[in-house]
Structure 1
Amino acid sequence: MTKHEPATDEELLDAVGPAFGKLRRSMLLEVENPISQKDLSRTLVLNIVLEAEQGDGREITVGAVAAYLAVDPSVASRMVSDSISAGYLVRAASQQDGRRTILHLSPEGRDMMARFRRHQRAAFEQVTADWSERDRLDLARLMLKYVDAQNALRHR
């Protein structure tokens, strides 16, 4: 048992939430081609748009960004505007309702997300470098299973 491992199952389950909170902050590990803190924040918005484009093709608006991030629409609007100013997002008219404005990744936004994915993979490999391959793959599978279950709850 490591010095940080909880002693009981209850302590282990209580430690999960704080551990997830630390994950986002630890993404800034010094790996090759690190992501700036500003761009790391932008990836929150870019990821929502990217997932919609790669998934069911639903249109993403500023309101949808606010809902996904559980923030006030004015906060989401500032985040989206910042990503547009950085050249990562573009606004377009909805094909379903011309009165709505939707968001798309620009080519620069796609490049940023590809670089971010490489950064995430490098960080995972660095953190788990001394783990067994089985432990690394088990964590990856369980993390994906957890995220899928969380998304299923969101869509109920």
Structure 2
Amino acid sequence: MHASRPDGGPALFRLVRHWARQWAPDVVQRFDEDAPPTWTVPNLFVIQAVAGAGPDEVTVADVARQLGIDRSVASRMITDAVRDGFVRRETSSRDARRAALQLTDEAGKFLHSAQTFQRQAFDALVGHWPAADRTRFAGYLERLATEVLDSPEGS
């Protein structure tokens, strides 16, 4: 690494390792003290994947792609999210062999709570930075997430 140039790759992976250890199932319970037992990390992942899949009809394949897992694992996670009242599974209007997924109002409450927690975590990490730096960094994070998760090239 050159002293004059930050080395983003190793720094990124140090952060990924750190947060992977921090992201235990009990973390979700910290979003809201009165959180129901169905507010689990896997359910949150499914909710975020359905919410982030775009405006078109969302399928099991879309969730699998968003989460970076195979369709059978995504299907099992979706089944749990349906059972827990976060997702409705209906027959696709485009292809009767596929399921179309929609979030319920309960999923919206869970997602809102999770996003509030995520914003607070971001603010705790960089709240001491100048406002322009925080805004620029947030924009770069959003750009990276979009390029990696939402574009065909990133899949």
State whether TM-score is above 0.5.
yes
Q: Are the aligned partners of 2:87 and 2:104 in contact in 1 as well (CA < 8 Å)?
A: yes
Please give the secondary structure, in 1, of the residue aligned with 2:100: strand
Q: Which residue of 2 aligns with 1:137?
A: 135
Q: Are the aligned partners of 1:31 and 1:123 in contact in 2 as well (CA < 8 Å)?
A: no
Structure ranking higher on relative contact order (CA contacts 8 Å, 6+ apart): 1
Distance 1:30 1:137 in 2: 28
Letter in 2 for 1:89: V
Q: How does 1:110-125 map to 2 (within 5 A)?
A: 110-125=108-123
Q: Which residue of 126, 132, 136 maps to 1:128?
A: 126
Q: Which residue of 2 aligns with 1:14?
A: 10
Distance 1:76 1:112 in 2: 19
For structure 1, list consecutive stretches of 5 or more residues without a partner in the other structure.
1-5
1:1-20, CA deviations, whole angstroms, 9 ceiling, x for partnerless residues? xxxxx774475433323323
1:26-59, CA deviations, whole angstroms, 9 ceiling, x for partnerless residues? 464996636789523322111121123xx3x322
Q: 1:128 to 1:60 in 2, by over 3 A?
A: same
Identity %: 25
Cα shift at 1:61? 2.1
Distance 1:45 1:60 in 2: 11
Q: Which residue of 59, 65, 68 maps to 1:67?
A: 65
Letter in 2 for 1:49: V
Distance 1:47 1:82 in 2: 14
Letter in 1 for 2:102: H
For structure 2, list consecutive stretches of 5 or more residues without a partner in the other structure.
none
Q: Which residue of 2 aligns with 1:44?
A: 45
